[in-house]
């Protein structure tokens, strides 16, 4: 009898424990949790397509939804700050606090960085600027050894450097190397010290050729240029060397040496190829006037020997 009562008591206790456990489970997962998580309570995502970003964010705030706005590439066909796409889509059921992802049209094009073009060729610069979304304005040439190489890039009067940020489609001016010119008049270097002569040669885009000293080559502090070749005013190609003779002596002291240099660099012999070319150039620059022959009919006279007129060409 007691044994039967004990078994019944155990069974009843077990049933009570199971009932209490089930009740607790039901309360937690169907009543308390639903209340805590707003179970079966949802918010409908509104149609944001016709709204601006400012309008859409205000509507989402009122509905208790969060949002994340991301800009995409600017579309000129759409209004600035208009919504291009969003997720979840309109009419979707979401819980309060759900994040809505919005893609919006920015106000304008994103700014672009200027590529590194200094020293690059004109052709490469044109291509990279076009890819970057920049436009080319004026092309300015400056003297430089590198023909058509980019020396500077200018925007609104300011010289730019690589990495500077510009508005898309900004118009920039390019400064390119002109390359070397031909037939440029050489500067007068006689009388200058070596430092000044080098500067004048560089400023005129020539190269320094041979340096020779008349007299002692040890005392160069007071030395001046006493002779140059090519000579002052000669037509010469930029980039070519100019030879210099220096001395710390006066011109009167070295007049014999200067005469020897004149004979070597200025004297032309008519029997040489250089001399004949020089005479050709001289005759072309100083053409002789044409004399028309006039025929005069006279009575027959005793024939006399014709007079011979000799012309003398003097080359100074």
Which of 155, 167, 45, 59 lies closest to 106, judged by CA? 167
Which two tokens mark 132?
A: 């970057």
Class of domain 184-282: alpha beta
Confidence of residue 269 (pLDDT cuts 50, 70, 90): very low
112-177 adopts what CATH topology?
A: Trypsin Inhibitor V; Chain A (3.30.10)
| pLDDT the model gives residue 143 | 82
Is 80 exceeded by the pLDDT of residue 172? yes
| pLDDT the model gives residue 30 | 60
| pLDDT the model gives residue 11 | 65
Using the structure block, give the residue that is written with the tokens 């979304």.
Answer: 133
* pTM of model > 0.75: no
Q: Which of the pair, 254 or 312, is modelled with greater confidence?
A: 254
Mean pLDDT of the chain: 79
Helix (H, G, I), strand (E, B) or coil at 160: coil
**Could you tell me the residue ranges of all domains in the chain?**
43-104, 112-177, 184-282
Q: 43-104: which CATH number, 3.40.50.720, 3.30.10.20, 3.30.1310.10, 3.40.630.30?
A: 3.30.10.20
* Cα 226 to Cα 16: distance, rounded to the nearest angstrom: 126
As a whole number, mean pLDDT of residues 156-185 equals 93
| pLDDT the model gives residue 33 | 52
* Cα 302 to Cα 223: distance, rounded to the nearest angstrom: 74
pLDDT digits (tens, 9 = 90+) for 224-243: 999 999 999 999 998 899 99
Same fold, 112-177 and 184-282: yes
Is 80 exceeded by the pLDDT of residue 281? no
CA distances from 195 to 57, 150, 190, 192 (A): 72, 29, 13, 8
pLDDT digits (tens, 9 = 90+) for 206-222: 999 999 999 866 666 78
Is 50 exceeded by the pLDDT of residue 314? no
| pLDDT the model gives residue 293 | 41
Burial of 195 per CB tally in 10 Å (0-12, 13-18, 19+): exposed
Is 70 exceeded by the pLDDT of residue 307? no
Is 60 exceeded by the pLDDT of residue 78? yes
Which two tokens mark 286?
A: 């100083």
As a whole number, mean pLDDT of residues 31-46 equals 65
| pLDDT the model gives residue 29 | 57
* 1 secondary structure, DSSP code: -
As a whole number, mean pLDDT of residues 170-174 equals 96
Confidence of residue 115 (pLDDT cuts 50, 70, 90): very high
Q: Which of the pair, 267 or 188, is modelled with greater confidence?
A: 188
Taken as a whole, the chain contains a residue count of 316
| pLDDT the model gives residue 25 | 64
């Amino acid at each position: 009898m007691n044994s039967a009562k004990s078994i019944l008591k155990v069974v009843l206790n077990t049933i009570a424990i199971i009932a209490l456990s089930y009740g607790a489970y039901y309360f937690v997962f169907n009543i308390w949790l639903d209340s805590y998580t707003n179970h079966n309570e949802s918010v409908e995502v509104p149609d944001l397509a016709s709204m601006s970003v400012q309008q859409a964010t205000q509507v989402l705030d009122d509905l208790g939804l969060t949002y994340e706005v991301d800009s995409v590439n600017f579309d000129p066909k759409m209004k600035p700050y208009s919504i291009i796409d969003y997720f979840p889509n309109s009419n979707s059921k979401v819980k309060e606090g759900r994040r809505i992802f919005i893609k919006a049209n920015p106000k304008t094009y994103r700014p672009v960085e200027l590529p590194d073009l200094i020293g690059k060729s004109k052709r490469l610069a044109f291509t990279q600027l076009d890819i970057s979304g920049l436009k080319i304005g004026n092309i300015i040439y400056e003297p430089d050894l590198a023909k058509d190489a980019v020396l500077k890039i200018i925007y609104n009067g300011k010289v730019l450097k690589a990495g500077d940020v510009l508005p898309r489609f900004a118009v920039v001016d390019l400064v390119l190397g002109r390359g070397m010119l031909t037939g440029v008049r050489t500067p007068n270097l006689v009388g200058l010290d070596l430092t000044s002569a080098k500067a004048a040669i560089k400023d005129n885009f020539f190269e320094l050729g041979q340096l020779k000293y008349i007299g002692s080559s040890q005392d160069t502090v007071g030395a001046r240029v006493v002779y140059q070749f090519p000579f002052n005013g000669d037509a010469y190609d930029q980039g070519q060397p100019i030879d210099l003779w220096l001395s710390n002596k006066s011109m009167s002291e070295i007049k014999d040496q200067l005469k020897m240099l004149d004979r070597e660099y200025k004297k032309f012999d008519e029997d040489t190829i250089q001399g004949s070319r020089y005479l050709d150039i001289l005759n072309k620059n100083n053409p002789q006037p044409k004399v028309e022959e006039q025929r005069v009919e006279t009575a027959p006279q005793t024939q006399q020997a014709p007079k011979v007129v000799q012309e003398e060409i003097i080359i100074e």
